[in-house]
């Protein structure tokens, strides 16, 4: 959809890691942005102060309906979710937000005539695959946790809503890295960028063994991919793998340490269970002409 001064793009989870970057990117592209989040709207001086922020729980259909009654929404990018670690701790809340909240949003989109609904899904819908297996959208989905199962269910639900005229499309996203993640369970995703300027000895803990591979993408590229799906004049598929880079953990450790000798990267004994290690994202790359910036290049840019 093209930028329309008479309608807005609604971002759920707008105060989140990807949501903040996405909001700024959409504004630069000329869109009016409405950001929904359970966290309090930004105070003056925040980087999102020009975005129209609304405090809203998507589980509350009455709150959500008021938003759609008051705002003319032309497109939705749905990122709000209870993430895997928190979902394991509180499965009730995770089900309310990830399933019921998403259903509420889909139903509002149908009722209020929204054209395009872009869903931030996850590569966790695939479950664990072998170290030498490339996984494409044609391969079976077999999530191993509540979070991945919820993402897969909403994809199936979205396909049903496509029959009711809603242009639903899902982007299956890997581990997103970059400054500003504010994650307690996987702080390394931001630390490998934020600590590159450290002037004293600093340690970053990665939970994986050195031989493991993890599929990662930079937050800037994740936001650009979501905008591509929002803007596309046509969508040939309902599901796309987000182009990610398969990085060997030991190589990531070596790169970060080489960029700043004050940093020591400590590896753990974990494996990337619940996700593929190698990905076929040629569908997205081919249809949208997208090339992600390599993570090592992103790190080098940050360090210089």
* Catalytic-role residue among 31, 126, 147, 208: 147
d(CA 286, CA 280): 11
147 a catalytic residue: yes
CATH 3.40.50.720 in the chain, residue ranges: 8-174+218-241
pLDDT of residue 51: 83
Q: What percent of the chain has pLDDT over 70?
A: 95
Q: Decide if pLDDT at 48 tops 70.
A: no
Of all helices (H) and strands (E), which one includes residue 54? strand 52-55
Q: Please state, in angstroms and as integers, the Cα–Cα distance from residue 241 to each residue in 121, 171, 227, 246, following that order.
A: 9, 6, 15, 13
pLDDT of residue 46: 54
When pLDDT is cut at 50, 70 and 90, the band that residue 184 belongs to is: confident
Domain 176-215+244-303 fold: UDP-galactose 4-epimerase; domain 1 (3.90.25)
Q: Decide if pLDDT at 249 tops 90.
A: yes
What are the pLDDT digits (tens) for 50-72? 689 999 999 999 999 999 999 99
What are the pLDDT digits (tens) for 253-265? 999 999 999 999 9
What are the pLDDT digits (tens) for 140-159? 999 999 999 999 999 999 99
pLDDT of residue 153: 98
pTM of the model: 0.95
Query: Per residue in 9-34, is it b (16+ CB within 10 Å) or e — as a string?
Result: bbbbbbbbbbbbbbbbbbbeeebbbb
Q: Decide if pLDDT at 42 tops 80.
A: no
The sign of the torsion formed by the CA atoms of 190, 191, 192, 197 equals positive
**Token digits for 100?**
């019921």
What are the pLDDT digits (tens) for 185-238? 789 999 999 999 999 999 999 999 999 999 999 999 999 999 999 999 999 999
CATH 3.90.25.10 in the chain, residue ranges: 176-215+244-303
- Find where tokens 């639903």 sit: 168
Mean pLDDT of the chain: 93
d(CA 164, CA 10): 20
- 299 burial (CB, 10 Å; 0-12 / 13-18 / 19+) is buried
pLDDT of residue 179: 94
pLDDT of residue 65: 97
When pLDDT is cut at 50, 70 and 90, the band that residue 182 belongs to is: confident
When pLDDT is cut at 50, 70 and 90, the band that residue 304 belongs to is: confident
Q: 8-174+218-241 belongs to which homologous superfamily? A: NAD(P)-binding Rossmann-like Domain (3.40.50.720)
């Amino acid at each position: 959809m093209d930028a329309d001064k008479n309608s807005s793009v609604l971002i759920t989870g707008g105060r989140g890691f990807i949501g903040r970057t996405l909001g700024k990117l959409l504004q630069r592209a000329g869109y009016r942005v409405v950001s929904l989040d359970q966290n309090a709207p930004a105070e003056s001086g925040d980087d999102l102060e020009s975005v129209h922020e609304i405090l809203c729980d998507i589980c509350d259909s009455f709150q959500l309906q008021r938003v759609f009654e008051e705002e003319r929404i032309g497109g939705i990018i749905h990122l709000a979710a209870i993430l895997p670690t928190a979902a394991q701790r509180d499965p009730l809340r995770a089900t309310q937000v990830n399933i019921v909240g998403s259903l509420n949003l889909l139903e509002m989109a149908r009722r209020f005539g929204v054209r395009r609904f872009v869903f931030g899904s996850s590569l966790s819908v695939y479950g664990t695959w072998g170290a030498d297996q490339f996984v494409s959208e044609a391969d079976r989905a077999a999530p191993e946790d509540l979070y991945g199962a919820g993402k897969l269910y909403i994809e199936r639900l979205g396909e049903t809503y496509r029959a009711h005229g809603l242009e639903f499309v899902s982007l299956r996203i890997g581990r997103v890295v970059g400054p500003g993640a504010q994650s307690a369970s996987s702080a390394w995703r931001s630390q490998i960028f934020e600590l590159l300027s450290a002037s004293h000895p600093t340690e970053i803990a990665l939970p994986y063994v050195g031989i493991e591979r993890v599929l990662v993408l930079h937050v800037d590229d994740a936001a650009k991919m979501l905008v591509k799906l929002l803007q596309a004049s046509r969508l040939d598929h309902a599901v796309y793998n987000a182009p990610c880079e398969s990085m060997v953990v030991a190589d990531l450790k070596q790169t970060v340490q080489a960029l700043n000798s004050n940093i020591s990267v400590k590896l753990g004994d974990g494996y990337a269970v619940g996700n593929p290690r190698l990905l076929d994202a040629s569908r997205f790359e081919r249809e949208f002409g997208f090339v992600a910036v390599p993570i090592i290049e992103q790190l080098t840019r940050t360090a210089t």
